[in-house]
Structure 1
Amino acid sequence: MKNSKASSVATLGIFIAIMIVVQLLTQFVYAFWPSPIQPTLMQIPVIIGSVVLGPKKGAFMGFIMGLYSFLYSTLFPIPTSFLFTPFQHGGNFWSLVIAFVPRILIGVFPYFVYKAMRTHFGAGLAGFVGNATNGILVLGSIFIFFGKTINESFAALVGAILSTNTLVETLASIILVAAIVPALMKSKK
Structure 2
Amino acid sequence: MKKSKASDVAILAIFIAIMVVIQILSQIIYSVWPLPIVPTLLHIPVIIGSIVLGARKGAFLGLVMGIISLVNATIVTLPSSFLFSPLQPLPGTNHGSMWALVVAIVPRVLVGLLPAYIYKLMPRRFGAGLAAFVGTATNTVLVLSFIFLFFRTVTHQTFGALLASIITGNSIAEVIIAVILTMAIVPALTKARQHA
TM range (shorter): over 0.9
Hey, what does 2:44 align to over in structure 1? 44
Q: 1:117-132 alignment to 2 at 5 Å?
A: 117-132=122-137
Q: 1:160 to 1:102 in 2, by over 3 A?
A: closer
Q: Distance in 2 between matches of 1:84 and 1:160?
A: 17
Equivalenced residue count is 188
AA paired with 1:135?
T
1:146 maps onto 2:151 in alignment: yes
1:32 maps onto 2:32 in alignment: yes
String of CA shifts for 1:6-60, please: whole Å, max 9, x gaps: 2211110001111111221122111110123211101000000000001111111
Q: 1:77-96 alignment to 2 at 5 Å?
A: 77-90=77-90, 91-96=96-101
- Could you tell me whether the CA contact under 8 Å between 1:37 and 1:161 is conserved in 2? no
Hey, what does 2:93 align to over in structure 1? none
Give the TM-score normalised by the residue count of structure 1: 0.93
User: 1:35 aligns to what SS in structure 2?
Assistant: coil
Q: Which runs of 5+ in 2 are unaligned?
A: 91-95
Q: Which runs of 5+ in 1 are unaligned?
A: none
Q: Distance in 2 between matches of 1:110 and 1:9?
A: 19
CA RMSD of aligned residues (A): 1.8
Q: Percent identity?
A: 53
Give the TM-score normalised by the residue count of structure 2: 0.90
Q: 1:1-189 alignment to 2 at 5 Å?
A: 1-90=1-90, 91-151=96-156, 159=164, 162-189=167-194
- Could you tell me whether the CA contact under 8 Å between 2:140 and 2:166 is conserved in 1? no
Q: 1:60 to 1:184 in 2, by over 3 A?
A: same
